[in-house]
């Protein structure tokens, strides 16, 4: 037997995704490269690891057993690497963060310098909607989470990072005859919502209820990026976080429509379960951000104050 760690890592990704194509995408490799490494691993066994039925890839029982062992091997290798770095005085370990989908425009800027200072830390960041973020936090599956709407069902602690502003946005080519009466907007074009469970959706619905806004037509899409592209295409308007439309405003693909009560202002906050005993990686990140968050905001988000 002469298989490599690289081959085992690729095989594990194929097992988890049930697809050579998806494994290649997640590993940032070409599909032929993954197929070659999978074949090289298979050649060392007389029993098939995978089989293809009707163009669909299946993992055999033997393949699943090998995957279980491979996962343990890779975990032990990672442990060796962590111990080596720790022995040299470097901070190591996994940092598990769950963030709401729009948070992808925020969180990387607060992580970059910290991770450069601590190359021994492995980041696992899940980008999803608010309900799934809160579920992961509640189950203690992550160290910290980034949200713009603080959950009322959990006993949490928080660190505020950045103000979140939401504006009414449309395609730049759309013109309104009576811009002073913003209610006319919703008579002319649909309002586009995020899916239920989204923090942006919750914020929008609260605003509509408080202001008794009458919506005649509405569309629902399942990601902030999908909403943005739909608005750019002229399918409707939406109340969107400013943080995610910087380039589109600059390129005049989108325009902000004045509306009474807007922008809605919330706060991007890191939250964690009250009393949680953080591992060194998460504890160090929170300590770092407590000291550096204002500098990061001034350096990376100065454009934000123009709106």
Return the domain boundaries, the chain.
5-87, 93-162+267-306, 164-265
At 98, which helix (H) or strand (E)?
Answer: strand 93-100
Distance CA(201)–CA(203), nearest Å, equals: 5
End-to-end CA distance of the chain: 62
Can you give the pTM of this predicted structure?
0.69
pLDDT at 84: 67
CATH number of 93-162+267-306: 3.40.190.10
pLDDT at 256: 92
Sequence-ordered alpha helix ranges (H) in the chain = 5-17, 20-27, 31-42, 61-87, 107-117, 130-138, 185-188, 199-210, 224-233, 246-250, 280-300
pLDDT at 227: 92
Q: What 3-state DSSP class applies to 244?
A: helix
Q: Helix, strand, coil proportions of the chain in percent (round to 5)?
A: 50, 25, 30
* Among the listed residues 36, 40, 12, 38, the one whose alpha carbon sits nearest the alpha carbon of residue 26: 12
Q: Looking at domain 5-87, which CATH architecture does it have?
A: Orthogonal Bundle (1.10)
Question: Would 93-162+267-306 and 164-265 be classified into the same CATH topology?
Answer: yes
Residues 268, 288: contact at Cβ < 8 Å?
A: no
Q: Fold for domain 164-265? A: D-Maltodextrin-Binding Protein; domain 2 (3.40.190)
Write down the residue that tokens 């809160």 correspond to.
134
The C-alpha torsion from 40 through 46 and 50 to 53, rounded to 10°, is 120
Tens place of pLDDT per residue across the chain (307 aa): 788 988 999 999 999 899 998 888 888 889 899 999 999 999 999 999 999 888 889 999 999 999 999 888 887 777 776 666 655 666 778 899 999 989 999 999 999 999 999 888 889 999 988 889 999 999 999 999 999 989 988 999 999 999 999 999 999 887 766 554 566 677 778 889 988 888 888 888 888 888 888 787 788 898 888 999 999 999 989 999 999 999 999 999 999 988 888 899 999 999 999 999 888 889 999 999 999 999 999 999 999 888 8
Phi and psi for 124 in degrees, rounded to 5?
A: -120, 110
Going by their DSSP bridges, the two strands 238-241 and 156-171 should be labelled as antiparallel
């Amino acid at each position: 037997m002469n298989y490599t760690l690289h081959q085992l890592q690729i095989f594990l990704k194929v097992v988890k995704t049930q697809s050579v194509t998806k494994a290649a995408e997640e590993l940032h490799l070409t599909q032929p490269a993954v197929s070659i490494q999978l074949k090289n691993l298979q050649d060392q066994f007389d029993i098939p690891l995978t089989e293809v039925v009707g163009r669909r890839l299946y993992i055999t029982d033997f393949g699943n057993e090998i995957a279980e062992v491979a996962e343990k091997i890779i975990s032990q290798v990672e442990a060796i690497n962590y111990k080596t770095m720790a022995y040299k005085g470097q901070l190591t370990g996994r940092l598990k963060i769950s963030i709401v989908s729009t948070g992808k425009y925020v969180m990387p800027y607060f992580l970059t310098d910290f991770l450069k200072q601590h190359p021994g830390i492995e980041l696992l960041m899940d980008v999803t909607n608010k309900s799934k973020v809160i579920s992961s936090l509640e189950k203690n599956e992550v160290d910290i989470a980034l949200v713009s709407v603080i959950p009322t069902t959990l006993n949490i602690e928080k660190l505020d990072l950045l103000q979140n502003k939401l504006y009414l946005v449309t395609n730049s080519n759309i013109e309104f005859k009576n811009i002073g009466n913003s209610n006319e907007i919703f008579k002319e074009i649909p309002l586009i919502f995020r899916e239920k469970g989204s923090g942006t959706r919750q914020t929008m619905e609260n605003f509509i209820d408080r202001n008794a806004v009458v919506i005649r037509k509405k569309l629902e899409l399942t990601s902030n990026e999908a909403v943005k592209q739909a608005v750019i295409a002229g399918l409707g308007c939406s109340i969107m976080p400013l943080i995610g439309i910087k380039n589109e405003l600059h390129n005049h693909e989108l325009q902000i429509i004045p509306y009474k009560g807007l922008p809605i202002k919330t706060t991007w906050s890191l939250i964690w379960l009250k009393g949680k005993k953080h591992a060194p990686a998460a504890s160090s990140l929170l300590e770092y951000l407590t000291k550096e968050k204002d500098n990061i905001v001034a350096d990376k988000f100065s454009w934000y104050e123009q709106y």
